[in-house]
Amino acid sequence: MAAEEPAAAVDLSKMKVNEVFGHLCATCHGKQLDGGQGGSLIDGEWKHGASDADLFRSIAKGNLQLGMTPWEGVLTKDQIRALVIYIREKEKEARFKGLTFPVPEPGKVVKTERENYVFEMVVEEGLEHPWAIAFLPDGGKLVTERPGRLRLIDAKGKLHPEAVEGTPEVMAFGQGGLLEVAVHPNYTENGWVYLGFSDGWREKVPGKEKSKVSALTAVVRGRIKDHQWVDQEWIYRDDKKFYGSSGVHFGTRFVFDAGYLYFIVGERGGLEVAQDLSMPQGKVFRLHDDGRVPTDNPFVGKDGALPGIWSYGHRNPQGLDMDPRDGHLYDTEHGPRGGDECNLILPGRNYGWPVITYGMNYNGTPMTSETYRQGMEQPVTYWVPSIATCGLSFYRGDRFPQWKNDLFVGALKQKEVRRLRIIDQEVVEEEIVLKDYGRVRDVTDAPDGYLYVILNDPDCIVRLVPQG
Ligand code: HEC
């Protein structure tokens, strides 16, 4: 049991993690965690074990001989877990302090571990909150703008001044709007363009000034003729009862494979709904590319389960792609604070949200100490502190031979593109290849062999081109 109870009668359960640290730990470990009577917690040196589990044990069990209080009994497991995340955040911050990444400049060469590239501007002006890009066989490109517009860049690289007319109305609020765009793998024959967006409606609430929005992720396909959206078909539009007013976690991101379409419906801020197979939120879906449910989906015929579900227990995936070498599907999920994940997505599996997570609440209150549970999947890798993952792409091209089949991960908050090398479903290398130009909304390889990056703030599209 704890040797010393905290002196003043403060309610620890309501405290944010930085307050808990300030209250209980700072006297010995320093306000900046840089040490005092107790050691530094940010110098990367751990006398009593360096893993998360070791830190957890150090805090819970303490070491009375050395003068470290055992905190179990005073703090809950969830609070101790939050402290571990907090220490990790500060440790990372300290490691990168003073380290500057060369901010890429158009035309300048950026050197990375395996390839050097020139950062080239594709569209510098005229886009508002671009979200995704798709490549047409003639060299043209389609770009979504979150407020609800589909834009065309012609084969010569010129942005058409007008949006494509007649695309579906979207609920543009919060993180919602027109999100994903992709062209069918047989686009040349069938002309299908797929859009993912927040679908829904607004209604007046009597006596209230603001109208109420109800929204959910939806998928359509259509064709573009004479700059008009035509032949529209709904691919995925779920029951109205699942529509909700939350403005967060819509998902989308499309992967086509063998006649199937994979896409994400985020958990819409609903947490536990991600575990409920009778609800679409927090799931990866697999449908035929025309919207029919494949009869061999994992939950087909299971009582109460939605048959389109491929995997569940997801929070806010914002990246999805398939390994060209072995057909394994990966996602990146925007976790809570400290819980961003990259997952190998297998049919029928449970990815654990919100039961297990490596994160805590954004405001620094604890969520759970559980990072592992039988019957739930562990991520391939995770990021503590969070990088705010967004956009995900394997590199299939030939122009960067040393990057072939590597996985590129975008990050909004950290303004990064990271390169992961995956061998046998394990991450064996991780490197930041681009940093600090803008928030990375999407990263994708392209038929021309370059790597395209969509940035927000500044809103632009750039590409990485081999040097020389
Ligand atoms: C009364 C002083 C004191 C307080 C209060 C205190 N610690 Fe410690 N802590 C120590 C000492 C001393 C050690 C052992 C350092 C060593 O072995 O050199 C230690 C060790 C640790 C370690 C292991 C460090 C390593 O190198 O492996 C962690 C983690 C830690 N403390 C976290 C905390 C946290 C979190 C709190 C607040 C909940 C806290 N401590 C409060 C004095 C304290």
Q: Scan for tokens 């703030």, then name that residue.
A: 457
pLDDT computed for residue 12 by the predictor: 87
Q: What are the backbone angles phi and psi of residue 156, rounded to the nearest 5°?
A: -90, -5
Ligand 1: residue of 18, 28, 71, 80 to mutate (most ligand atoms within 8 A of CB) is 28
In this prediction, residues 148-161 reach a mean pLDDT of: 97
Q: pLDDT over 90 for what percent of the chain? A: 92
* Strand ranges of the sheet holding 416-423, from the earlier edge strand across to the other edge: 389-394, 407-411, 416-423, 426-435
**Which one of the listed residues 249, 314, 328, 334 is annotated catalytic?**
249
Q: Scan for tokens 């089949």, then name that residue.
A: 405
Q: Scan for tokens 């032949």, then name that residue.
A: 231
Tell me the one-letter amino acid at 246.
S
Ligand 1: residue of 4, 29, 31, 52 to mutate (most ligand atoms within 8 A of CB) is 29
Handedness of CA 423, 181, 143, 315 (dihedral sign): negative
Alpha carbon nearest to ligand 1 atom 34, residue: 25
| Residue 59 near residue 80, CB atoms below 8 Å | yes
Express each pLDDT in 85-97 by its tens digit: 999 999 998 988 8
Ligand 1 centre distance from Cα of residue 58 (Å): 7
- Identify the residues whose C-beta falls under 6 Å from ligand 1: 24-25, 27-29, 37-39, 41, 46-48, 55, 58-59, 63, 66-69, 71, 83
Instruction: Give the position, in ligand 1's atom list, of the atom nearest the Cα of 67.
Output: 12
Ligand 1 centre distance from Cα of residue 68 (Å): 5
Ligand 1: residue of 16, 68, 369 to mutate (most ligand atoms within 8 A of CB) is 68
pLDDT computed for residue 8 by the predictor: 54
Ligand 1 centre distance from Cα of residue 335 (Å): 28
Alpha carbon nearest to ligand 1 atom 40, residue: 25
Ligand 1 centre distance from Cα of residue 48 (Å): 10
Ligand 1 centre distance from Cα of residue 358 (Å): 22
Alpha carbon nearest to ligand 1 atom 2, residue: 28
pLDDT computed for residue 1 by the predictor: 41
Alpha carbon nearest to ligand 1 atom 30, residue: 59
What is the full DSSP assignment across 252-266?
EEEEEETTEEEEEE-
At residue 243's C-alpha, the angle toward residues 237 and 249, to 5°, is 90
Banded model confidence at residue 401, pLDDT cuts 50, 70, 90: very high
Alpha carbon nearest to ligand 1 atom 18, residue: 39
| Residue 85 near residue 367, CB atoms below 8 Å | no
Tell me the one-letter amino acid at 464.
L
User: What's the CA gap between 395 and 406, in Å, rounded?
Assistant: 6
Ligand 1 centre distance from Cα of residue 378 (Å): 29
- Domains along the chain? 12-96 (1.10.760.10), 109-466 (2.120.10.30)
Banded model confidence at residue 428, pLDDT cuts 50, 70, 90: very high
Alpha carbon nearest to ligand 1 atom 8, residue: 68
Ligand 1 centre distance from Cα of residue 3 (Å): 14
Instruction: Give the position, in ligand 1's atom list, of the atom nearest the Cα of 49.
Output: 27
**Is 184 among the catalytic positions?**
no
pTM for the model: 0.92
In this prediction, residues 424-438 reach a mean pLDDT of: 94
Banded model confidence at residue 2, pLDDT cuts 50, 70, 90: very low
Banded model confidence at residue 14, pLDDT cuts 50, 70, 90: confident
Examine the pLDDT at 436 and tell me if it is beyond 70: yes
Alpha carbon nearest to ligand 1 atom 12, residue: 38
The distance from CA 436 to its chain's CA centroid, rounded to whole angstroms, is 18
Instruction: Give the position, in ligand 1's atom list, of the atom nearest the Cα of 20.
Output: 38
Kindly give, in sequence order, each residue whose CB lies less than 8 Å from that of residue 39, ignoring residues fewer than 6 positions away.
Answer: 29, 45, 47
Ligand 1 centre distance from Cα of residue 96 (Å): 23
Instruction: Give the position, in ligand 1's atom list, of the atom nearest the Cα of 74.
Output: 38
Alpha carbon nearest to ligand 1 atom 5, residue: 25
Express each pLDDT in 336-365 by its tens digit: 999 999 999 999 999 999 999 999 999 999
Express each pLDDT in 270-312 by its tens digit: 999 999 999 999 999 999 999 999 999 999 999 999 999 999 9
